[in-house]
Structures are given as C-alpha cells and as structure tokens.
Structure 1
C-alpha cells in the first residue's frame, strides 16, 4: 500500500498497488483496449496511471533516425520537448530496456521501456510521490501492455507515425518503411537489429527476416535506381522473397524464384543486389548467397576476424544464374554484420571512398553493446565521419548467434 500526496491542506490518500489490485487494473485496461479507437489510447493510459497516483505522464516514441524520443500527443498526456536518446534518463531506459528512476523534489520520475516483444517502441514516463516494489512490478507490466496496444492500434491510425517524424518523408521512403519488419528481435538463441539511412529519403534499400522454428532467414537488398523506381523494384523483391521463404524452399530455390520474378516483371535492365542467409539457431550453421553485395563481416570478441567472402552470384533479376552457396560455422557470441555498398562507397566530391577499413575500425570500437545499440552507434558514427554526406541508401543489419535452447520459456511455474 503506497500513498499519493493530495492538494493543499489535504491528507495523503492511500493507494493500493498490490499484485491483486494490479491484476484487476491491467485486466480492466485490456478489456477496454479491444474496442478502443486509437485516439483514446492516450487518455486511457493516463486514466489508469492516475489511479495509482501517477502524474505528468508522457509517452515517448523513437523517431525514424533513432536520435530522439518524441512525445505522443493526447488528452491527459504531458507534452514536452523530445528527449535525446544518447543523453537523457529516457534514452538510458530506452537503450538499456530497463527502468530508470530519477529522484526529484516532488517525488520520483520513472522511465519505463515500452517493449513489444523485444522491439523497443519507446518509453513511458511518469512521476510518483514514492516508489516501492509493488509500483515497479505493476508499472513494468503496464508498460508492456501499453507497448502492445500502441503497436496493435498503429495498424488503424497515422497518429503514432506522425509523432515519430522529425522531417518530411519522401513517397519512396514511405513505401520502404511500410515493408520493414520490427527493427530489432532479441531471443535467447539469436538477436538481430537493422537500420536504414537516410531515414526520410530511402528508396532502394531494405531488409527482411523471419525466425521459423530453428532457422533464421535474412535478406538484405539494394534495388537499382533512385526514388520511386527503386522503391517499386524493392517492393517486388521483398514480396518475392517472402513468398518463396514461406513456401519453405532452400536458398538456391529462393534466389531463383526472386530472380525469375524480377526478370519477368522488369526485364534484364533492372536488378537487385542482395544477400540471403539461413542460420540454424540451434547449431550455428550459417549459409548465404551473395548476389552483388560487399561481403559481410564476422565479428568475434569485438574484433572483425574475417570477411565472409565466397563465390559470387549475379544480382537478382539478370535471369538464369545458378546461385553459389557459402557456409560458415559460428561460435556462440559471434556477430555477422551485413551492409550495402552505400555505406562504404560514399565519398566527398573528389575525395576517397569511406572504405571498408574505416567501417571495421568503427565496428571494433563499438564495445559492450547489444545488437541494437551497436547498429545504431555504428550508423551514427559513420554519418559523423562522412560529415552527414549521404548520396546513396545505406543499410546495416547485424545478427548475433547466442546458441542454447528456449524450451524453458514454454513452461510455467506457479
């Protein structure tokens, strides 16, 4: 049982935050959420947080460039300035996927990560007069439910997408963002994270992945051309990839299906460079087809120990090539970094290309970070070293193999 301070001349009012109360509160929230229109999510969250004595409630969502957390507008929510991800309590909660508590004169400011599965949606911030373990447990569960609601309701509204935007977005970028899976997936056996730049003007670059039983499937693509032409080509490529992947074919058949689909639709003058990968998350057995991309980097103990070179395959769409499949056995903790040529071929007018060696140097300096932090940190470091120059799309996609099993997650001990 905790207390919330009343107004001037009033006494503290007891607030029940026990587990039984919390279950009833979360159940009520879940019951209402099923039919709740998107614009009422914010007022509903504010109402429920107020019930436990919370105030100054803010929902912060990650912007597309992954630089700041932007406030979601809504009745009952406090709207302030965006919070920098790199240097704020909200950013610490977001990057670390952990609750941050900040003592203030009027109580404790709490920042709770909004996690939809393992994908970080944003941060829920609120102030309580006092905080105990009942509060922490209840608010952690509430934040998880809020994250699920935001992701589910985003399919019915543009409100959350608008809140995340810090600049005008091109039509091509709009198409590409709509194609993407969640930017991060973390499981006990494997973790992945990806990032695209420039966020508001991407066109031909994209990636996709799926974890089907013990096999992680990944594709990173770069469609030729610019603007809408590249976005349309990338859309067909990703659609063909998903169609073949869901038919449960091997890497060779998957490449040939994509190749035939693009060739039939666009002819031999249009193509897509790509890397397609299959990783057995139980054994660490990695297979890939490289169809025109720079070779991926194998990272072990924070060092790039080799490039995953191998026999090349023609870009997707030229028609009729037999794909060359390469293989590698990973060790637990190994990371594989896929990237497109826009990352290393960028250069100032008359200057040298950024190059793979500088990329490797930045990767090796990114120590002690999870996959999401590393991808984000490397992308932003590259942008700084290029002094913001971006004349081509660029993609980073990182895979970490952890091994082990997940069977324990399917058992419930009460």
Structure 2
C-alpha cells in the first residue's frame, strides 16, 4: 500500500451514483497499487458477468463465476502478479464480483481491507440502482419485454440472508416474463414470502401482478397478517378485472425463532420441504385464487420447520411444465432435481432447478414462465 486507505464508504457516498466503479478503481490503484480493476455485475439469469469498466461484453471468467456462486474470495495468478476475486453482495443479494490485479500477494491486513472495499461497493451499488440505469443496463444482455421490465422492477431482489436463514428466488425466462413473481420482506423475527402466478399474457399479466403485489405490500406495511394481505389483494383484483383475471398465490409467514409457518394457499404454487435427504410436499388446502370472486375470505394453515430444513416453492411453470404433452416436470424430474441440490446453498439451488427445467424442455419452447424460491432455515 502506498498510504493508509481512506474510508471507502465515505468516498462512495460522496461519488455520483453512476461513477462508483471508477471511484473504486481509482481508490484501489492509489492505496493498494492495483494494476487493473474490473467490476463485474451478474446478468439477470445469474449465468454471465458483465464488466462495468472495460465494457467489451459479457465475460465467462470461470474464477469470477465460481466466486459469485460460492460467495468466497479467491486468489490466483494474474497477468503480472496476483489476481483476486471478491464477491459483491449486500444482505445476501449477489450482485457480482470485484476483480483486482495486484503486483504481489496481499498480506492478511490488506486482504481484509480489500474485502471491506468490496462490501462497501456492493452496498453502494445496491443503493444507487434506483438513481442510474448503468447497472441495470449491464445486467441485461438483451432487451427486456415491457412485461419483464415491470416484473424486474417489482422484485425485492434475488437473495436475502443473515445468520438465521438464506433465501433466494429466480425467474425464467429472464427477458420475457409474463405474470409469475415472488416477493419477500423481513421484519424482526418474521419473514413473509409470496409466490404468485398471474393469469394472462404479456403486459396484461404483468399489470395484474403489479396490482396484486402492491396490494399485498400495502396491507403488510400497515401491519396486516397474510389473511388480510390476501383479502385486500383479492378485492383489488376483483374490482379491477371483475373476476376475468386472477392470481394464484401462496403466502407464507415464517417465525424465524420457532420455525412455525403460517400459510394461505390461494392457488397453484407448490410448497415442499427438504429434510435430511428427503423431499416432501406440504399438503395445503387450496383456496380461491386472488380476484376470482368478490369479498373472498381466506384462512391460515400451519406447519413447522426444523433446524436445517429447506423450504421450496415453485410456480406451475415449474411443476406443471409438460413439453410436447409428455409427463410434467413435477411428476418426473422435479424431486430428482431438488435432491441433487441438497448440498448447494439456496442461492445456487434455484439456478440448478431452473437449469434442469430448461434441459427438461430440450428444444421445446416453454409455454409458461417459472419461479423457484428456496429458503434454508439455519436457526
């Protein structure tokens, strides 16, 4: 190091939201003698990394992709010395990778300082995302449909976690989403998760989803439980569409201390629990999809998680996928895919399930979009 680094957080807060990568690179060159710096952001499907500084195109840097998947820093040989890959993540949300080329291997103190720089940059990018299009443009490897644009703006993120749990969700196809959606919110020891399968196609389906999700958020932010959230959303949809369009939705509220799960099953998303080496479906009583009838009323069912359990929710675009009219993915391949992910963290497991779903379709075009949400309860 040429001199003691200034606090990175203060530096980034004083930087324009679209200039965070440049400010970080200058900081690393000045204080760590970095020879080359690249900020790589993950694309929407979490399969490629797009550079923000040398914007030649998306990269298939295997070490960077491994860092993104494992969320662990790695050190290897670089063009002229040592190359570091540092995960960019914020509250469990995997944003990308910071790649730094140094003339020599960092000592433990320097390595810790570099990890702190990556952490500060991740928080800054997450905060700046609403104030500049730069990071979203890099994430999109092709143009989004209008429906997909609405859906991605509505999402809470792609992962969330702390020492109690790790939660992840994934939408497919990333660039042409119709009406499927997931949402979550953490409040003290309560975690609310919703998975929604909206009716219709294209922009109509997206607008239906926007209405339902915002109605549930409105109720939740006023302190309402999941029954009231479901009822407000159902009334809003019925008022708008008169029962012509509706949204099959699963609402869950999880006690992160005791493991109790309150559930309202208002449609088609399926809920499963992985315990040890076994996967079993949680059988819930299906109630009316949101918006099908006016003044619909809902009831809570309860089940309990045990420490180390994995909770999985999939939309009908996953469990009911039946390319060319053959067996459904849920009947023939879903449980095998879920068992195969048992040793992966939730953030990797959702991608593996979606990859298996794409392979299941082979050359057939999916008839529906798909959602997978995975929660690991660590307690």
TM range, smaller chain: over 0.9
What corresponds to 1:7 in structure 2? Answer: none
Instruction: Please give the alpha-carbon distance, in whole angstroms, between the structure 1 residues aligned to 2:245 and 2:17.
Output: 41
Listed as ranges, the matches of 1:276-291 within 5 Å are 276-291=251-266
Q: Which runs of 5+ in 2 are unaligned?
A: none
Distance 1:242 1:248, change over 3 A: same
- 1:222 Cα deviation (Å)? 1.0
Count of matched residue pairs: 375
CA deviations on 1:24-80 (whole Å, 9 max, x unpaired) are: x2x2x43343342233222211210111110221110000111111111xxxx3445
Instruction: Please give the alpha-carbon distance, in whole angstroms, between the structure 1 residues aligned to 2:342 and 2:191.
Output: 25
Instruction: Please give the alpha-carbon distance, in whole angstroms, between the structure 1 residues aligned to 2:63 and 2:325.
Output: 42
Distance 1:40 1:255, change over 3 A: closer
Instruction: Please give the alpha-carbon distance, in whole angstroms, between the structure 1 residues aligned to 2:114 and 2:11.
Output: 18
What corresponds to 1:266 in structure 2? Answer: 241
Equivalent of residue 127 in structure 1, options 101, 104, 119? 101
Q: Give the TM-score, by structure 1 length.
A: 0.87
| 1:41 aligns to 2:17 (yes or no) | no
- 1:326 Cα deviation (Å)? 1.7
Equivalent of residue 33 in structure 2, options 53, 68, 77? 53
What corresponds to 1:101 in structure 2? Answer: 75
Instruction: Please give the alpha-carbon distance, in whole angstroms, between the structure 2 residues aligned to 1:117 and 1:280.
Output: 19
* 1:283 partner SS: coil
- Whether the aligned pair in 2 keeps the contact of 1:116 and 1:151 (CA below 8 Å) is yes
What corresponds to 1:182 in structure 2? Answer: 157
Equivalent of residue 299 in structure 2, options 300, 315, 324? 324
| 1:91 aligns to 2:65 (yes or no) | yes
| 1:166 aligns to 2:141 (yes or no) | yes
- 1:117 Cα deviation (Å)? 2.2
- Whether the aligned pair in 1 keeps the contact of 2:78 and 2:101 (CA below 8 Å) is no
Equivalent of residue 285 in structure 2, options 307, 311, 323? 311
Tell me which moved more, 355-364 or 156-165: 355-364
* 2:183 partner SS: strand
- Whether the aligned pair in 1 keeps the contact of 2:226 and 2:264 (CA below 8 Å) is yes
What corresponds to 1:144 in structure 2? Answer: 119
* 2:210 partner SS: helix
Listed as ranges, the matches of 1:325-344 within 5 Å are 325-344=300-319
Q: Between Structure 1 and Structure 2, whose CA radius of gyration is higher?
A: 1
- Whether the aligned pair in 1 keeps the contact of 2:320 and 2:328 (CA below 8 Å) is yes
| 1:62 aligns to 2:42 (yes or no) | yes
- 1:345 Cα deviation (Å)? 2.2
- Whether the aligned pair in 2 keeps the contact of 1:299 and 1:334 (CA below 8 Å) is yes
- Whether the aligned pair in 1 keeps the contact of 2:350 and 2:374 (CA below 8 Å) is yes
* 2:128 partner SS: helix
What corresponds to 1:154 in structure 2? Answer: 129
- 1:367 Cα deviation (Å)? 3.1
- Whether the aligned pair in 1 keeps the contact of 2:270 and 2:315 (CA below 8 Å) is no
What corresponds to 1:391 in structure 2? Answer: 367
Distance 1:331 1:390, change over 3 A: same
Tell me which moved more, 168-177 or 367-376: 367-376
- Whether the aligned pair in 1 keeps the contact of 2:91 and 2:162 (CA below 8 Å) is no
- 1:90 Cα deviation (Å)? 0.4
Instruction: Please give the alpha-carbon distance, in whole angstroms, between the structure 2 residues aligned to 1:92 and 1:350.
Output: 37
- 1:353 Cα deviation (Å)? 2.8
Instruction: Please give the alpha-carbon distance, in whole angstroms, between the structure 2 residues aligned to 1:128 and 1:361.
Output: 44
* 1:278 partner SS: strand
- 1:105 Cα deviation (Å)? 5.7
- Whether the aligned pair in 1 keeps the contact of 2:45 and 2:174 (CA below 8 Å) is yes
Instruction: Please give the alpha-carbon distance, in whole angstroms, between the structure 2 residues aligned to 1:271 and 1:233.
Output: 8
CA deviations on 1:143-181 (whole Å, 9 max, x unpaired) are: 111111211222111111111111221000000000000
Instruction: Please give the alpha-carbon distance, in whole angstroms, between the structure 2 residues aligned to 1:301 and 1:80.
Output: 45
Distance 1:105 1:31, change over 3 A: closer
* 1:145 partner SS: helix
